[in-house]
Structure 1
Amino acid sequence: MKRLEEKTIHTTPIFQGKIINVQVDEVELPDGKTSKREIVKHPGAVAIIAITKDQNIVMVEQFRKPLEKSIIEIPAGKLEPGEEPMTCAKRELEEETGYTSDHLEFITSFYTSPGFADEIIHIYAARNLSRLEVQKDLDEDEFVEVMECSLEEAEQLEKEHKIQDAKTAFAIQYVKAQGWMK
């Protein structure tokens, strides 16, 4: 809606990193006043709802430094420059879990924290999983433990606050709503 639009007057780069960039934008508000917006720029990511033949959700446990703890999540990863989300989803599924799929299905995309970041995450489902004959390498600074759990176990992990991220909470609700796991 044009009546709510904020026009950028000036952008000041603050930080250029490996994963994110940070900037401060001076903006003109709809009422003509000005304000500052602190913005995190992110290349985007994918996440995969992977369901095994045994009707389990494939998850990974990973230490998350900003939280100072490990949490359990669906497999996910950052888009490389120019990479298509579907290609990234297949790569991340294989690298993080040791599974591959002959059929990835796009589910949806959503912004993770639109109040300060432009990160968008694309969610895919992978249901015809098979094990890779040769395990692919994780990123050199990435350490995960793969696990599989039933829908009930995933819901219990949420109650125990071991699953606390939005993409995984979405995945669990989506699987439940689709009736994929009985």
Structure 2
Amino acid sequence: MWGKTQLRVFHRAMSSSPSALYKQASKLLDPKTTVAKVTSQTPLSNENARFINLEKLEYVSPAGKKGVWEIARRTTRPKGSAVDAVIIIPTLKYANGDKKLVFVRQFRPPTGGVCVEFPAGLVDPDDTLEACALRELKEETGYVGVIRKRSGVVWSDPGLSDANCEIVWADVDMEQDENKTPSPHWMDNEVIEVVTVSLSELEKSMEEWSNNGYLIDAKIQTFLIGLCMET
């Protein structure tokens, strides 16, 4: 863990050089050295909740029996939108035919740890899914891509929440000048590390990430299961 002196030095560097944060992302997000953590937990009533509401559902089961269910319902879905968010699966394509997948690492307070995920983001009002996907790809990773295909609506955790998303596949041309020196544009308080992995190395990389204390998003594991079923 970083000491107080190290943090003071780093914060001074950040105030004079915004690009330093990008260069330090790997250390800031290393589970062995990160200072990111959950410091308190407080029950939240719905009137104080900004992004989700807790609700009790009464329902009748397919067998005709009455039941009760508790859910977390998103409050951020734009009016008229069918989905809350977009998940991007970016593929870096090189002139020699090589391909790599792009992942991001970031601290996720609900887990208390640093997660490895696909780039993703919430849909803004008046967004198209394509525009949202390309914007989030650029903001989180710095890469500029084109949409190859979309999944249609999928549900993120149907036993807990009404949250849903679309999965978008994006191709990134590594011959394009912007992609040779990608420049992300994070939101306030974000630190994101970009990780690229070839398909053949994904299973090995996931095992190494887990052994090193990173938390694996279920969508990556599901993606790997699909790959393994094809071999």
Q: TM-score, normalised by structure 1?
A: 0.75
* Deviates further, 165-174 or 47-56: 165-174
Instruction: Tell me by how many angstroms 1:111 deviates.
Output: 0.9
One-letter amino acid matched to 1:21:
N
Instruction: Tell me by how many angstroms 1:146 deviates.
Output: 0.9
Unmatched tracts of structure 2, length 5 or more: 1-44, 78-83
Deviations 1:113-169 (A, max 9, x none): 111211112111111334368835222132211121112332123224246212222
Provide closer, same or farther for how the CA distance between residues 166 and 156 of structure 1 changes in structure 2, counting only shifts above 3 A: same
Cα separation, 2, equivalents of 1:36 and 1:23: 10
User: Larger C-alpha radius of gyration, 1 or 2?
Assistant: 2
Provide closer, same or farther for how the CA distance between residues 65 and 48 of structure 1 changes in structure 2, counting only shifts above 3 A: same
Deviations 1:72-91 (A, max 9, x none): 11111122244332221111
3-state SS of 2:110 partner: helix
Q: How many residues align structurally? A: 166
More helix by share: 2
Percent of residue pairs bearing the same amino acid type: 31
Provide closer, same or farther for how the CA distance between residues 151 and 108 of structure 1 changes in structure 2, counting only shifts above 3 A: farther
- Paired residue for 1:49, among 83, 89, 92? 89
Cα separation, 2, equivalents of 1:149 and 1:67: 24
Cα separation, 1, equivalents of 2:223 and 2:63: 40
- Paired residue for 2:155, among 108, 111, 135? 111
Q: TM-score, normalised by structure 2?
A: 0.61
